[in-house]
Amino acid sequence: MVLTIGTTIKNLRAKRKITQEQLATFLGITAQAISRWENGNVYPDIEMLPSIAEFFEVSTDVLFGINKDEKEKRRDKIYLEIEKGYETGTNSGEDAIVNARQYAAEFPFDERIELNLADTICRTYMWDEVPDLERLSEAEKLYQALIETASNDPFRYEALKKLAALYSVGYKDDAKTDCVLRQFPTMQYSRESIGTLISETSGHDIGRIQDYIEKLTDSLCTTLEDYIIEMPNGSETWDRKVEMFEKLISLYQFVFGENLLFYHSRVADLYRIMATYRVAQGRYEETIHCLEKSVYHIKEKEKAKPGDRYTSPFMDTMSLPEDDPTNGGFHAPILHNEAWYVLNNKLTQSRYDPIRDMDGFRAIVDELSHIAK
């Protein structure tokens, strides 16, 4: 970026009819120093910028020639790049750390960008067989600083969650992990739990209760999914795992109804995982059936629009929220939809080679190709 501070100072002086001598007197320097700034020979010391900005009643951004609208657009662009990194898995490695540092240098007091830097360092070094603790100590300090200065509780808890993972996986320090976990409220005293209890007692605000049911179901089902996958794996366990996943699907349908909206995506993923067990067993017709069910739910998720309501009596006040990719909240994938990722990242796996020429598999590929983007 080409600095035009001298030109900006000169223009501000002219606009306000201020002489170099008057500005110099306020700053306690010589008029010749002001002249050198305005001629572009040297820049003001960084410690002097707040005083110059105060004198002209502008922000330091103005002195740097930064347009606030452009700055916010740049911030949103960085947020979007961060989300793309999560989606594509390109948010680790030395290049990702360099990018994260550049973002942090541009916006040094932005919590989300600072958190991304700490996360990127952890993703790069935390999972090594022998983690680089010196590198990870930078992430630890960033998390600790963010926890101390967090602007709100949700962000503070997010930083605490990341720090707990760092202590558990990177440092393998159970005592520190436990110390961080104790800073979270228990489920019994969460906002959703207390709000639901009050609503049940007072007999109103059914929406709050349903919101709690959704969060509990979401948390329970994703935890169970991970748990089942991590259970001992072998041909003798695959039938049992498929049975467990079928029960999870029934739980989703029980809570959310047939119109699963966002949760069609979760069920589609479960059917795809079931297909990996069936194809390994050589049960190819059942593999095709699981993939067909997965495609059905992917297509149904694609049809869902913000504002659509769930049909279950447990969820009938709840609706699909708006996408918000730049704020890291609830949103659909940014670059591609789920059909694209299944088609290009999952069905290309060699495990499906035995069924690749089957009519059913080809039909699945064709269907996904039509809706992939």
**Per-residue pLDDT reduced to its tens digit, 166-207:** 999 999 999 999 999 999 999 888 888 888 888 767 766 788
Q: State the pTM of this model.
A: 0.75
The domain limits of the chain are 5-63, 69-184, 191-371
Structure tokens at 291: 């993939």
| Helix/strand/coil percent split, the chain, to 5 | 70, 0, 30
**Per-residue pLDDT reduced to its tens digit, 112-159:** 999 999 999 999 999 999 999 999 999 999 999 999 999 899 999 999
pLDDT, position 335: 82
Domain 191-371 listed as CATH 1.25.40: yes
Q: Are 321 and 330 in contact (CB under 8 A)?
A: yes
Q: CA quadruple 155, 156, 158, 159: dihedral positive or negative? A: positive
Q: Determine the Cα–Cα distance for residues 299 and 322; give it in Å rounded to an integer.
A: 19
Which residue type does 306 have? P
List CB contacts of 260: < 8 A, sequence separation 6 or more: 252, 253, 266, 267, 297, 300, 301, 310
Query: Mean of the pLDDT values across residues 253-263?
Result: 95
Q: Determine the Cα–Cα distance for residues 370 and 373; give it in Å rounded to an integer.
A: 9
Pick the CATH number of 5-63 from 1.10.260.40, 1.20.1300.10, 3.30.1330.60, 3.50.50.60: 1.10.260.40
